[in-house]
A and B are shown apart, each in its own frame.
Chain A
C-alpha cells in the first residue's frame, strides 16, 4: 500500500514553504507600508509589527497541525504568557519550532539569525519589528538589555542555528554575556521533535513516515542565584565560557534533546561516514508501497541457498 499519509504530508510541506515565503512577502510589501503610514514612532511600529508576525505564526501553526503534518504538545504555556522581561532559552532541533514558539508569546522580541535580515521576503518585516540581529557583538548585548528593560520577553536560541544531528549542542557565548550583564532569570524551553523532521541540512521533502510530534516543555524560571556561585570569582571571559558550558549541559541532560546521527532522514552531508555501526544496513529502506524485498545474489559454489522472498527483518 502506498503511504498516502506521507505523500500528503510531503505535498503539504512543500505548500507550507511556499505559503510561508508568500505570506512574509505580503507582510513586507503590503502590510508594512500601511503600518508605516499610520505609525510614525519606531517603537509602536515594532510593537504592531510583532503583533502581526505573532498572528501570522499562530495561523501557520494551526494550519500545519490541522492538515495532519504535525502534532503539537505544550506543557507549561502559562509560564510563557506571564514572562515579562525575562530571557527565554530554547534549543532548536527543527525549522518549525521558531514559528511555534514565537506564536505563543505575546510581545516577544527575538534574536534572529543575521542572514535572514538580508532576505528579500523576511528582511523588511524583521527590521520593522525591531528584532535583534545575531551578530555576537556588544551592540547585540546592549540591544537585548534595552529590550528586556522595556518589559519584553526575549527569545534566544543559544545555538544560533538548528542543532546538528549527531553532535552535542554547541551554544554561542552571547547568551552567557547577556546573563552576566543583566542578571535576569531565564526561562528554559526544551523542544523535542519525534520523529525528527525538518532537520539542519535536510531537504524539505524528507518527511518522516508518520506525523511528527513537536513537544515544547516550558521549565521553571531559573533565577540568577542558581548559577551566580559558579562564576563568582572568575574573570569575565572565563565566567562566560563556564556559564555557556553550564547551559549546554543543562539542555543536554534533558531527554531526547540530542539528535542521533543515524536518524534515517538526517542529511547524508551531515554524516560523512554513512556506514555507521549499529545500523546493520547501509541505507535504511524507505517504504515504497510494497514490502521491502531483499534480493540475495546466489552464492557461487556447490550449494545454492534457497532463495526466499519476504520482508527484510
Chain B
C-alpha cells in the first residue's frame, strides 16, 4: 500500500502526544519555533520577534491573542498549559522558558 505523506517531514508530532524520539530543545530551537508560531498566527516578521520583545507592548498582542498563543504552544509541546503558568508571561523570553521547561518535563517524564 502506498502511503501518501501530505505533511512535511519537519512537522512536529500530533497534538497532545509526547514526541516519539527523546530530544532536548535548546533555547535557540525554541526561539525558532516561537518565531514560526508568531509569523503564522500573528503575521509578525521573524526579525521583529526577539527574546527581549514585550508581547503586549511591542508585539501588539492582547489577552485574547494570549489564549490563541497558549493553544499553539500546547500543540507544539504536546502538554497542557494552565492559565497560572502563562499569567506572568510578558516577553518572548518567558515564552521560550515555558516551552523549554515543558519539553524537558516530557523528556524527564519518560
B43 contact set on A, CB distance < 8 A: 237-238, 241
Is A177 in the interface zone, CB < 8 Å from B?
yes
Q: Which of B42-74 contact A (CB under 8 A)?
A: 42-43, 62-65, 67-68
How big is the B interface, by class? 10 to 19
Task: Indicate if the CB atoms of B68 and A237 lie closer than 8 Å.
Answer: yes
A93 at the interface (CB under 8 A from B): no
Per-residue contact bits, chain A 212-237, to B (CB 8 Å; 1 contact, 0 not): 00000000000000000000000111
The A/B interface has a contact count, at CB < 8 Å, of 30
Task: Kindly list chain B residues whose C-beta atoms are within 8 Å of the C-beta of A241.
Answer: 42-43
Q: Mark A135-171, 1 if CB is under 8 A from B, else 0.
A: 0111001000000000000000000000000000000
Q: Are A174 and B41 in contact (CB under 8 A)?
A: no
Q: Given A237-B41, A238-B41, A241-B43, does the pair A136, B63 have CB atoms closer than 8 Å?
A: yes
**A138 pairs with B62, CB closer than 8 A:** no
Q: Which residue of A lies closest to B43 (CB)?
A: A238
A24 within 8 A of B: no
Asked whether B63 lies within 8 Å of A237 as measured between CB atoms, the reply is no
Contact: B42 with A238, CB < 8 Å? yes
| A240 beta carbon closer than 8 Å to chain B | yes
Q: Give every chain A residue within 8 A of B63 (Cβ-Cβ).
A: 136-138
A177/B64 in contact, CB under 8 A: yes
Smallest beta-carbon distance B13→chain A, Å: 20
CB-CB nearest in chain B for A172: B62
- B65 neighbours in A (Cβ, 8 Å): 237, 240
User: When chains A and B are docked, how far (Å) is the Cα of A137 from the Cα of B65?
Assistant: 9
B68 surroundings in chain A (CB, below 8 A): 235-237
Chain A residues closer than 8 Å to B40, beta-carbon distance: 235
Interface of A is mostly: helix
A173 CB–B CB distance under 8 Å: yes
* Contact call B64/A137, Cβ cutoff below 8 A: yes
Docked-complex contact B62 and A173, CB < 8 angstroms:
yes
CA distance A173 to B65 in the complex (A): 10
Binary flags per residue of B32-44, CB closer than 8 Å to A gives 1, else 0: 0000000011110
Q: Which residues of A contact B64 (CB under 8 A)?
A: 136-138, 141, 173-174, 177, 240
- Expressed in whole angstroms, the minimum distance between the Cβ of B61 and any Cβ of chain A is 8
Q: A177: which B residues are within 8 A, CB to CB? A: 64
Compute how far the CA of A177 lies from the CA of B62 in the bound complex, rounded to whole angstroms: 12
Question: Cβ of B67: which chain A residues have Cβ within 8 Å of it?
Answer: 138
B24, chain A: closest CB distance, angstroms: 28
Interface mask (A114-139 → B, CB under 8 Å = 1, otherwise 0): 00000000000000000000001110
Contact indicator B41/A235 (Cβ below 8 Å) = yes
The contact string, 1 if C-beta is below 8 Å from chain A, for chain B 66-100, is 01100000000000000000000000000000000
- Docked complex Cα distance between A173 and B66 (Å): 13
Measured between beta carbons, the chain B residues less than 8 angstroms from A174 are 64
Asked if B42 and A136 sit within 8 Å, CB to CB, the answer is no
Chain B residues with CB under 8 Å of A138's CB are 63-64, 67
Q: How far is the CB of A105 from chain B (nearest CB, A)?
A: 26
Bound Cα distance from A28 to B44, whole angstroms: 47
A138–B67 CA distance with the chains assembled, in angstroms: 8
| Distance to closest chain A CB from B94 (angstroms) | 18
- In the bound assembly, the distance between CA atoms of A137 and B41 in angstroms comes to 18
**Closest B residue, CB atoms, query A242:** B43
Could you write out 12 A-B pairs with CB less than 8 Å apart? A137-B64, A138-B64, A138-B67, A141-B64, A174-B64, A235-B40, A237-B42, A237-B43, A237-B65, A238-B42, A238-B43, A241-B42
6 A-B pairs with least C-beta separation: A235-B41, A137-B63, A237-B41, A237-B42, A237-B65, A237-B68
Q: Which residues of A contact B (CB under 8 A)?
A: 136-138, 141, 173-174, 177, 235-238, 240-241
